Amino acid sequence: MLGTPPLDWALTALLAATLAVVALRPGRWRAWAAGGLAAAGLALAASVLTLGPRWQMTPAYLAWLALAALLAGSRLRGPRDVLRRRGILRWVGGAGLASLLVLSTAASCLFPMFDLPAPDGPFGVGGTRLKLEDLKRPEVHTANPLDHRELMIQVWYPADAGATGPVQPVFQHVDRLRDEMNRHGWPLGWMVTHLGQIHTHTVAAAPLARGREAFPVIVFSHGLGSAGVQNTVLCEALASHGYVVVSIEHSYDGAATVFPDGRVAGFMGEAYDYPERPYPKDFEARAVAEMQSEDPKALDALGRALVRLQPEETASTRFWNDQWSQDQRFVIDEIERMQAGALPSPFAGRLDLSRLGVMGMSMGGQTAQVTCVGDPRCRAGVNLDGYRAVLSELPGQKAPFLYFNNGRLSVHRQFLARDHQRSYWVKVTDAEHYDFTDLPRLSPLLKTIGLSGAASPARMQAIVDGYVLAFFDRHLRGRPAPLLDQARPPWPDVKFAVGGMAESAPPSDLGKTP
């Protein structure tokens, strides 16, 4: 739910009423103003104590202080106070205070303190963060040849229903995120600091659900420059339905990875810069139109043409796809060690690695395709709207796969014809790229600037969560998934197609109950 907390609405309303009393000066106005200001002070104190101070409410805090000073000054000066004798100054001051309240209200509406929807599975959700070190791989982002690859992972897992304890915020170490944003030339990093005050439904360090059940595992990768918590709603939903979700923070490729010793691996976007060559005349316009095509052969030909025409981009994407895929495969190695008890964690003996999926969004999604093509431990994969032309070079998937596209693209439709196992394609015509994350919940401004489409966060949650859960339930747990059998989706803005099972399909037990 988007909105302003009731205490903040109460504070703003009480300040507005107090300002009106001061401006209009009815009988006994000082008593009425003092009462309104006291009530507003109580609302302010309760808001700060329960939710913490927030930048959106700073103008309202200033308005309260100004009104308090004004009321105190009027009592000291009596009937000859300056504001009463100088009506113009009084109205100008009143307009300034009113502007502060309007500004605070606008900031709260444009950058709301939102609530994340509660996961609907039978389990509670626990969460923990762990550091992993790959001593066999050098860190390609730093100059020191002795640096090796270090990763942080966020794990969501099934806990007992009703598990209690401190809950994780949407973004931990939000001060470091602010500093990284400022470092990259966006001096308004303070505008995201409230994310540290918005809580999820994940109970920090809750005990793993009681019993002996071994849970299937899903490895998740974020988008380039984003964060491992960008799809918290989806990951919590999966955990509540009995999946252990391991989200990788790709160091230096995400917003701000904070290690336990306080070091920060900030985003190094310049590593992804490459020179772009001009396209032949009319090619770019034609390519944009062809990306909407649902003809697999046309889409494949377009991808291969883009690979030839942009060799620098192709080389860069191949390199980084490989680096991210190595991260995913290393994390799977470490998950195997957790299961065996060789790496300390709460999960020893409780992970079913015969039922392991790989999922990602944007860059993480295209990497999931790369990993699942080459690593047989991937038993099912999901790509949430990640595409680069080099994906056209990949052979067909040997594990079931689920592809998502936003309303501007149909490019993943091409993969259904080559995949060796059952694969699915979902296109949300009312969605933009970032609608496949939790980002549109941050501000309605994203729709205004075109980063979010007509699909609401609630509808996107129903679509993405519905298809992802149905897909993993069928292909990792062998459970019925009626949604995947509906040729006509229950949402009018969704296109759905089923493919795979190419003639060269190898024998497989994927999708059968372990």
pLDDT in tens, 154-179: 999 999 999 999 999 998 888 888 88
- φ/ψ (deg, to 5) at 255: -65, -55
Per domain, the residue ranges of the chain are 6-110, 124-499
Residue 87: pLDDT band by 50, 70, 90 thresholds?
Answer: low
CATH number listed for the domain at residues 124-499: 3.40.50.1820
How confident is the model at residue 276, as a pLDDT? Answer: 87
Displacement of CA 418 from its chain's centroid (Å): 31
Identity of residue 345: S
Distances (CA, A) of 119 to 45, 158, 171, 455, 491: 31, 11, 18, 20, 21
Distance CA 302, CA 298 (A): 6
This prediction's pTM: 0.90
Does residue 321 surpass a pLDDT of 50? Answer: yes
How confident is the model at residue 90, as a pLDDT? Answer: 62
Going by the DSSP 8-state scheme, the letter that residue 508 receives in this structure is: -
Distance CA 15, CA 27 (A): 19
Average pLDDT over residues 231-238: 98
Distance CA 506, CA 514 (A): 19
pLDDT in tens, 249-273: 999 999 899 999 999 999 999 999 9
Q: Give the mean pLDDT of the chain.
A: 90
Does residue 135 surpass a pLDDT of 70? Answer: yes
Does residue 397 surpass a pLDDT of 80? Answer: yes
Distance CA 447, CA 456 (A): 10
Average pLDDT over residues 93-106: 89
pLDDT in tens, 436-447: 999 999 999 999
Which residues, in sequence order, are bridge partners of residue 154?
129, 247
Average pLDDT over residues 303-321: 95
Do 100 and 70 contact (CB within 8 A), yes or no? no
In the chain, % of residues over pLDDT 70? 92
Does residue 81 surpass a pLDDT of 70? Answer: no
Query: Of 233, 497, 476, 507, whose CA–CA distance to 358 is shortest?
Result: 476
Do 190 and 175 contact (CB within 8 A), yes or no? no
Among positive and negative, which fits the CA dihedral 336, 338, 340, 344? positive
- Maximum CA pair distance of the chain? 94
Report the range of poorest mean pLDDT among 195-199, 362-366, 456-460, 464-468: 195-199
Distance CA 33, CA 17 (A): 8
pLDDT in tens, 402-424: 999 999 999 999 999 999 999 99
